[in-house]
Amino acid sequence: MTDFKAFWVEKTEDSMISSVITRSTDDLPEGDVLIKVAYSSVNYKDALSATGNPGVTRNFPHTPGIDAAGEVVESSDPAFKAGDEVICIGFDLGMNTPGGFGEYIRVPAGWVTALPRGLSTRESMVIGTAGFTAALCLDKIETMGAKPADGPVLVTGATGGVGSIAVMLLAKQGYEVIASSGKADKTDYLKSLGATTVITRDELSEVDKRPMVAPQWAHSIDCVGGEILSNVIKGLQPLGSVAICGLVASPAFTTTVLPFILRGVNILGIDSVEIPIEYKNRIWDKLANQWKLSDLDAATQEVGLSDLAPVIEAIFAGQVSGRTLVTH
């Protein structure tokens, strides 16, 4: 038995209360692998969990944190041994299973990725689920044949966690990146990440009843949904692809069949939660090697457990850009 600190969220009749408390590893659920967490990160889903969203977390009190990286302490599975450095993201971690906002987690072995050579635990959590999702988007549009010579790639919600890493990954691979953001003061920031052009959210958010418009971008990574996604689809070049991974504007969008039957465009869904661990391992290996990002700190702020409550409030206020690393 080991005592440890954890960010603890409790639900009352009319509010959510958070604090940092002391827990014991005996309090953790059964599982194959006990991990001492060195780093986690803050994602939009963590903010939803911490504020009682029942679509993310049903039972409280609870410790959020859908990301964790650290060192194996105990393992009943021969695939892992004490001292191994590992990553755990997605599945039920931080949703209804105590997550990475605690200094220890216990999880099934099938949720765990061995830290690939070339990546540190800190780097993996700067990337986190948000950056991993961006990598899945790039992997999927390239599976559909995307290449830098096709033309510009539009990233919507570009200052967010997914969008920031998407801009960096695309730029590293040689793509021309058009970044869209609602934060007018972040133009220099987005260009420092690799964006060639920055456009305002307003340019994409107005209702346009036309089924298609003149082709403007070869491909897109959409982090917001809603009317912006509707307009993105209308403006894709023939055979263009849009990877869909977010809903901060709205989970709904409208379209017609015309972009699909006249231009052959592709809508690609992105799930970072329940995809097979083998697929996750492959993407982590890419992020440690050919997609390795050397300037992650440019898009990162670092916090401790006691700083989480204000960060979560800032997420809902639209005041957070890039990635937020949680250090234990």
Examine residue 278 and state whether it is found in any structural domain, yes or no.
Answer: no
Examine residue 281 and state whether it is found in any structural domain, yes or no.
Answer: no
Tell whether 150 and 55 lie within a shared domain: no
Residue 318's pLDDT is: 82
Measured between alpha carbons, how far is 239 from 251 in angstroms, rounded to an integer? 24
Residue 319's pLDDT is: 87
Tell me what the pLDDT averaged over the chain comes to: 96
User: What are the C-alpha distances in Å from 199 to residues 158, 159, 182?
Assistant: 10, 12, 9
The helix (H) or strand (E) run that includes residue 191 is: helix 187-193
Sorted by sequence, the CB contacts under 8 Å of residue 81 that are 6+ apart come out as 72, 75
Domain of 144, CATH number, reads: 3.40.50.720
What is the pTM assigned to this prediction? 0.94
Tokens of 38: 């060195």
Tell whether 217 and 301 lie within a shared domain: no
Tell whether 242 and 305 lie within a shared domain: no
Give the distance from CA 298 to its chain's centroid.
17
Tell whether 231 and 185 lie within a shared domain: yes
Tell whether 161 and 84 lie within a shared domain: no
Tell whether 48 and 78 lie within a shared domain: yes
Tell whether 136 and 107 lie within a shared domain: no
Average pLDDT on 2-23 reads 95
Percentage of the chain beyond pLDDT 90 is 91
Domain residue limits at 18: 3-115+295-327
Examine residue 122 and state whether it is found in any structural domain, yes or no.
Answer: no
pLDDT of 278 higher than 90 = yes
Number of domains observed in the structure of the chain: 2
